[in-house]
Amino acid sequence: MGYGAHVREGCILEEEANGGHTVGLKQTILFPFVTIGSLVNFCDCFMAGGTSRKDHSEVGSSYIHFNYTPNQDKATASLIGDVPCGVMLNQSPVFLGGQGGLVGPARIGYGTVIAAGTIFRGDSPEGGKLIHGDMESAFTKRKFIAGYYGNIDRRIENNILYIANLLALKEWYRHIRKIFFDIRDQGKALHEGSLDKLDMAVTERITRVKALSDKMDISIKIAREMSEGEKMRQLIGRQKKVMENWEKIEECLRSETEEDIAVEKRDAFCDIIKKRIDRGEKDYIATIKSLGAEESSIGKAWLQEIVDQIQGECAQCLA
């Protein structure tokens, strides 16, 4: 990190991730090779992608991840890439062009390019897209109603997906990263510290979504005063679902069921890694990058099953 960097709580910067001068990070996880320019505010993000320092995901200079809403909440974490594919270090890089911004909570897929100067307010999880827009022609004016949230489905879904990815990453650290930490000096402390940061990240995200759910009561009262009709009844119904079922959702996210999901795939992948270490392949990045397609697919399937099952259980709470 360059001069003037401000790296606060809940951050993990993996091997060869780096940033220029005056970069602000908080509750941010950067996978290997991710490069951040200068004068960047990039809090409440997960970012992966790229295969080396020459083929890396990039955040251009003067970039902002907008993580605080006019209604004063921070249920805004953005998933740039994902954990199941990202840990394999074989995905196309993501490019976030300088002098731009991303409004959280967003989902951005691998291979996405957001052109310089673009502020993106949506999702592009499919990846491989060039996103650009002319902000000057897109300005609109409408009444701002403090406390009113409207349709919150996307916001809740993106937050749950983000947390599910963090829980999958915890399993990766418990079972795969640990193998590499155990063979290095001070590895035990590094492993414990990493898990502590991941616990901190999960707690932060759950706390932020709970705070959002607590605001639904006021939002519903405002909505009832604004208008009637089927569309408004549906919006109110979705907000009530979140408010009334938050405890069930939180229980799903805190139940630690991720430890018991796809155990056979997990154990098979651990065996693959242990055999490579026994052969003397002790460098984390080199070992992961050397995995064959069939081998990496086992690890990916294990982690993706964790994400999918947790996401599905939470969705059932809101059905």
Evaluate if residue 156 carries a pLDDT over 70. yes
Average pLDDT on 39-52 reads 98
Average pLDDT on 174-189 reads 95
Longest dimension (CA), the chain: 69
Mean pLDDT of the chain: 96
- Residue 212: CB atoms within 10 A of its CB come to 24
| Confidence label for 133 from pLDDT (cuts 50, 70 and 90) | confident
Q: How far apart are CA 162 and CA 175, in angstroms?
A: 20
According to DSSP, the β-strands at 107-108 and 78-80 are parallel
- Calculate helix-pair angle for 230-254, 293-317, nearest 10 degrees: 120
Which among 68, 159, 58 has a CA at the least distance from the CA of 107?
159
| 180 within 8 A of 96, measured Cβ to Cβ | no
Give the pLDDT of residue 234: 93
Q: How far apart are CA 48 and CA 110, in angstroms?
A: 8
pLDDT, tens digit (0-9, with 9 covering 90-100), for 69-112: 999 999 999 999 999 999 999 999 999 999 999 999 999 999 99
Collapsing DSSP to helix, strand or coil, 87 comes out as coil
| Confidence label for 62 from pLDDT (cuts 50, 70 and 90) | very high
Give the pLDDT of residue 134: 63
- Contacts of residue 252, defined as CB under 8 A and 6 or more positions apart, other chains included, come to 310, 313, 314, 317
Which among 4, 33, 7 has a CA at the least distance from the CA of 20?
4
Average pLDDT on 14-25 reads 98
Q: How far apart are CA 288 and CA 301, in angstroms?
A: 15
Q: How far apart are CA 213 and CA 128, in angstroms?
A: 33
- Residue 221: CB atoms within 10 A of its CB come to 13
Give the pLDDT of residue 142: 85
Average pLDDT on 140-163 reads 94
The helix (run of H) or strand (run of E) holding residue 319 is none
Residue whose entry in the numeric block shows the structure tokens 């295969």:
51
| Confidence label for 135 from pLDDT (cuts 50, 70 and 90) | low
According to DSSP, the β-strands at 35-36 and 18-19 are parallel
Average pLDDT on 53-78 reads 97
Evaluate if residue 136 carries a pLDDT over 70. no
Q: How far apart are CA 130 and CA 62, in angstroms?
A: 19
